[in-house]
A and B are shown apart, each in its own frame.
Chain A
Amino acid sequence: KAGVTQTPRYLIKTRGQQVTLSCSPISGHRSVSWYQQTPGQGLQFLFEYFSETQRNKGNFPGRFSGRQFSNSRSEMNVSTLELGDSALYLCASSVEQGANTGELFFGEGSRLTVL
């Protein structure tokens, strides 16, 4: 069974630009979560999607958005990039959503550098 696939793996952008990251979950998984990882803040929860609906959102500005498609694939978008957005963005999928949250399966991440 293929794992969680994130694209692109690496990208470089300049301030003010926007970026779209893609995540393909494990087949059969309906929940996709996104995390931002930086040396200073650690792993911060961005949002979770389940069956195309955003179920939960972290404390990030509106520049960070996402969506999920009917095939469970997800994208996240960051507009008007700032230097502080440089991070490893991790996507994770799981079978269930809600109070029975169990194991998350992570992709290898998309490393974004903002110059």
Chain B
Amino acid sequence: SQQGEEDPQALSIQEGENATMNCSYKTSINNLQWYRQNSGRGLVHLILIRSNEREKHSGRLRVTLDTSKKSSSLLITASRAADTASYFCATVHVINTGTASKLTFGTGTRLQVTL
């Protein structure tokens, strides 16, 4: 089952506007990551935020994490047509200290950026 739920499921904006996607999860995490996927392709890692961090930036990306609300948001500023893709949050939760953990993906947000 999915760990995370993303909101909205689909988002359509014009080039130059900002896009905000939200992710909620259910159990305590070690870190949360955001990935991007162009249609039918593999996923590309965007950014990782650890459970003791509240905000992180990378270029036009800004990620926030609120562990008390079990939620995260991804903001893409000044969007471009090339940002059109699906965006997934993925959570890492420790199963046993020092042993296997895994990435559990959310349902994804489909972003469409039009000219």
Contacts and interface: CB of A to CB of B under 8 A. Distances in A.
A84 interface: no
A48 B92 CA distance: 13
Interface stretch (A66-74, A75-83, A101-109): A101-109
B102 interface: yes
B108 A101 contact: no
Contacts, number: 68
Interface string B71-115: 000000000000000001000101101111111111110000000
A105 B103 CA distance: 12
Contacts of B98: 98-99
Nearest to B30: A99
B68 to A, nearest CB: 22
Contacts of B42: 4, 90, 106-109
Contacts of B28: none
Contacts of B107: 42
A97 B42 CA distance: 20
A56 B102 contact: yes
A30 interface: no
B8 to A, nearest CB: 15
Given A102-B48, A106-B42, 9 more contacts: A97-B100, A98-B101, A99-B101, A101-B31, A101-B102, A102-B31, A103-B48, A105-B45, A106-B44
